[in-house]
Structure 1
Amino acid sequence: MDNYKDTKHGIVNHQNNLYSDVKSFIKLDSNASFIAGGIGGVVSRTIISPIERAKILLQLQSESQAAYRGMVPSIIRMYKEEGWKGLFRGNTLNCIRIFPYSAVQFAVFEKFKHIMLNYRPRIGNELNGFERLISGSIAGIVSVVVTYPLDLIRARITVQTASLKKLNKLDKPLSVWQTIKEVYTKEGGFFALYRGLIPTTLGVAPYVAINFALYERLREYMNNSPNDFSNPIWKLSAGATSSLIAGVIIYPLDLLRKRFQVASMNDGAFGFKYKSTMHALVTIFKNEGFFGAYKGLTANLYKIVPSMAVSWLCYDTMKEWIERW
């Protein structure tokens, strides 16, 4: 009986020690940021999945195509033609992509903030605006490089059943692995999975930099204000404001990202033949006008504003909970 008690006591102690070790690991700031950022990204992207797909379809159609016009009509059309599954087509892969993408983004951002705080003399314990922009840019670049092939495949899956005249509509869409195989074997091997990486990085890096820097500045203001900003609505508002401003500024590069990702699809059926990022921008402004570079902007704002608002709220709430745990 005594042996049983000793064994049971030893197991309980081992479990308690393991629990403490897990807590200590999770509560490390970079790990907390990684977990909170990943979960926040998955929750926010799932909520706005129909909006995100509609945005991509609006970006890829030409002026002569009238299949998708406006956010709400596009979502209604997707539902009528493809059912509720059409609203979330590509979302599973997007969630698989967005967890490491968002997790790496937040974790790298926090890591570089700490590096700057520890190795550069300063007064106080907050970064200035320029340093936040640098940290955000690095976080954006790293997160894109780590997850880009998933982003490309997700874009392909998103459009392959859509009613776009330049696309041979598939009755049965290709699976993730079939799409990867098709890109790899028909479009140039491993590096084909990174087609569009440069315009994507050029778009994501400044977007993340502006978004993160603005949100942190707004949060800093709220924390130092004598007014009570503890209500989650204020965090949602701060996240929405920062993503709105960043999204409008860098939108033409986001449009380029999608076009480069599908340029080789169906033997170049979309007709996008760009030699470089600069050539693509000049071509779009020349052939489609100023507003051609902002095609789908409204749909994009419908997506990123609520997405980042929810993402920031989830991130801050979960990170605070983990640190208190």
Structure 2
Amino acid sequence: MASSASAAAAPASAVSTAAIVTATSSSPSSSSSSPSASSSGAAGTWDETIKTGKFLIAGGVAGAVSRTCVSPLERLKILFQIKLTPTAAQEQAPTVWRSLVHIFKTEGLMGYFKGNGTNVIRMIPYSAVQFAAYEQYKKLLLTYPSPVDDLNTPRRLFAGAMAGITSVCATYPLDLIRTRLSAQGEGPDRKYKGIYDCLRTILREEGGARGLFRGLSPTLMGVAPYVALNFTVYESIKRWLLDQMQVKELSVPVRLLCGALAGATAQSITYPFDVIRRRMQMKGCSGPSFAYTSTLNAFTTIIRVEGVRGLYKGMVPNCLKVAPSMSISFVMYEFCKKLLFGGEVQGGRGAL
């Protein structure tokens, strides 16, 4: 208060003189620092762009490698998910091993990789966007809604959920096409000639672009918690092991185990949504078999017709697929990121 009163009582000339001196002294400084600040801002933006690009590359490579490695089990899972009543061939091949043998006998070695081309084309942008988005959402949540030194579990879950939603929305049509190509048989049962033919047929026969997003709702409901749990469980296990083992970095086998546990945990909890997604994606391709009107209708119909077990069809090959898939994905991502960043650790101890 005393300081304010004395300032108010100062003569006008003194105030004017002080203002002139301040303006004179600050003007050159501000004008000379402006280009520097602008240059610094542009450099910072460019650095962030380069960094995001590296995250995208690392994520894309991780997704392509991991999905190709588990392609046979991925296709088997889809075939199990869309199976309603057993055919003669399926009666003879009710187990994972016998089903794999049946595919080899009827379609040859390449039968294990049917739809994998589309899957890789989808997984490169999907995995790239997912990993890069997760890094960006984590960075955002470190400062908003309040600055923190490290993310707690709720913030990690939110970052993972948003990364999952972002990646799905960006690549969903490719996922639908991959499902259609993986599910079709050979000879008279083959409806689509390839990726382009499948895309053109869906656009022409199933309501245009809207048909390419069939099953998006259950996909988002399943993917958001799946990705959230996946990243959170993986990072939590890694942090715990780093503390227990008193090391700065975990070995590759240990990180593979972390990824396997994270993937299996997340997929087991969210698996029913994956089944519903596949069923709804097949609408328009399988006649009245999967004529569900909504996600809720699909959920109740499957339980009524096939029982609760119907929501877990393909769970065994899926668990066999998810564990190595997520292990390879996380380890490949970390390897590529370290390679691209020259060994620089990104995100601090225990981070991806």
Answer whether TM exceeds 0.5 for this pair: yes
Deviations 1:269-325 (A, max 9, x none): 5x1121211121111112211111111111111111110110001011111222226
Q: Which runs of structure 2 are paired with 1:122-161 in the superposition (5 Å)?
A: 122-123=147-148, 125-161=149-185
CA apart distance, 1:173: 4.9
Q: Which runs of structure 2 are paired with 1:36-55 in the superposition (5 Å)?
A: 36-55=58-77
SS in 2 for 1:78: helix
CA apart distance, 1:25: 5.6
CA apart distance, 1:28: 4.3
Deviations 1:80-126 (A, max 9, x none): 11111111111111111000000000011110100010234355x32
- Matched AA of 2:135: E
- Matched AA of 2:237: L
Q: Which runs of structure 2 are paired with 1:1-325 in the superposition (5 Å)?
A: 28-65=50-87, 67=90, 68-123=93-148, 125-161=149-185, 169-170=189-190, 173-228=192-247, 230-266=250-286, 268-269=287-288, 271-324=289-342
Give the aligned partner of residue 7 of structure 1.
none
- Aligned Cα RMSD in Å? 2.1
1-structure distance, mates of 2:337, 2:330: 10
SS in 2 for 1:126: coil
1-structure distance, mates of 2:258, 2:203: 41
SS in 2 for 1:174: coil
Q: 1:225 to 1:27 in 2, by over 3 A?
A: farther
1-structure distance, mates of 2:201, 2:155: 42
Q: 1:220 to 1:157 in 2, by over 3 A?
A: same
Across the two proteins, how many residue pairs are aligned to each other?
295
1-structure distance, mates of 2:162, 2:107: 39
- Matched AA of 2:230: N
Listed as ranges, the gaps of 5+ residues in structure 2 are: 1-42, 344-352
2-structure distance, mates of 1:65, 1:205: 34
TM (normalized to structure 1)? 0.85
Pick the structure with greater CA Rg.
Answer: 2
- Matched AA of 2:272: P
1-structure distance, mates of 2:118, 2:86: 31
1-structure distance, mates of 2:186, 2:258: 34
SS in 2 for 1:121: coil
2-structure distance, mates of 1:225, 1:28: 35
Q: Percent identity?
A: 39
